[in-house]
Amino acid sequence: MAEKETAAKKPALARTVKDKWRAKHWYRVRAPGLFQHVELGETPAGDAEQIVGRTLETTLPELAGSADSGKAHVKLRFRIERIGGDGVAEARFVGHDLTSDYVRRLARRKRSKIDTALHVTTKDGVEIVLKPVAVGEQRLQTRLRAELRHRIVQVLSEEAKQKTSPEFVNEMLQGDLAKLLAHGVKSLYPLKKIEIRRSIVLGTIADELPAPPAPVPEPEADAAPAMPEPAAEPS
């Protein structure tokens, strides 16, 4: 008799779990203006408030809708902040990572790897944690490694002070910041590779990239001087 009761309960439990899943609603998630408000995907929840605080990951090519795999090792992290008036979840950018296999390929045998971490503050007051990694073609002396680490920290701190958070993040993700670092340490030692392997955004980045400066109008050609009007004849 007990076995029959147990067998009868199993289908009921399965139906309950299935019904709960069907009751969930799929919410679309939208990236911030820094990434042109593209859709990041969908996430399920029984209630809209349950998805606030969730973190989503995507790669740079997936975000741009590109088939180019040149940046497939760059993973972006977004956190859902709120539900918009149109029912779409709005997320903010909270950082990025390089895939672990990509970082391992950088530091092969007989190469010197330099890791460091630092906090920078951008021109608009957003604090970002950066974890750069640099690789030398051969093993480097301890003193040279310390000098390179100091120069990397110096270059990143100075660049952050001169750029707003959208500008700085754009430079970081597009590889311009790595090029700037390579140029900054070249006088000490020409490193094989420099990357920002991880970033953590501690503040809120402005929603949009700054608008480009308006073009300066060209001066018009000198016009011919106006002829003076004839004086009125006395009546």
Mean per-residue pLDDT for 103-118? 82
Is residue 176 pLDDT above 80, yes or no? yes
List pLDDT tens digits, range 59-87. Answer: 988 887 766 667 889 999 999 998 887 78
pLDDT value of position 13: 55
List pLDDT tens digits, range 8-50. Answer: 555 555 555 555 666 678 889 999 998 989 999 888 888 878 8
pLDDT value of position 142: 85
Predicted structure pTM score: 0.75
pLDDT value of position 17: 53
Domain ranges within the chain, ordered by starting residue: 26-96, 99-206
- Select the more confidently predicted residue: 172 or 63: 172
List pLDDT tens digits, range 130-149. Answer: 999 998 877 888 898 899 99
pLDDT value of position 103: 87
Give me 145's structure tokens: 């490694």
Confidence of residue 104 (pLDDT cuts 50, 70, 90): confident
The 3-class SS string of the chain reads CHHHHHHHHHHHHHHHHHHHHHHCEEEEEECCHHHCCCEEEEEEECCHHHHCCCEEEEEHHHHHCCCCCCCCCEEEEEEEEEECCCCCEEEEEEEEEECHHHHHHHCCCCCEEEECCEEEECCCCCEEEEEEEEEECCCCCHHHHHHHHHHHHHHHHHHHHHCCHHHHHHHHHHCHHHHHHHHHHCCCCCCCEEEEEEEEECCCCCCCCCCCCCCCCCCCCCCCCCCCCCCCCCC
Is residue 212 pLDDT above 70, yes or no? no
pLDDT value of position 94: 95
Is residue 209 pLDDT above 80, yes or no? no
Sign of CA dihedral 32, 33, 35, 40: positive
pLDDT value of position 111: 73
Confidence of residue 110 (pLDDT cuts 50, 70, 90): low
| 99-206 CATH fold | Tetrahydropterin Synthase; Chain A (3.30.479)
pLDDT value of position 107: 73
Is residue 217 pLDDT above 60, yes or no? no
Is residue 180 pLDDT above 80, yes or no? yes
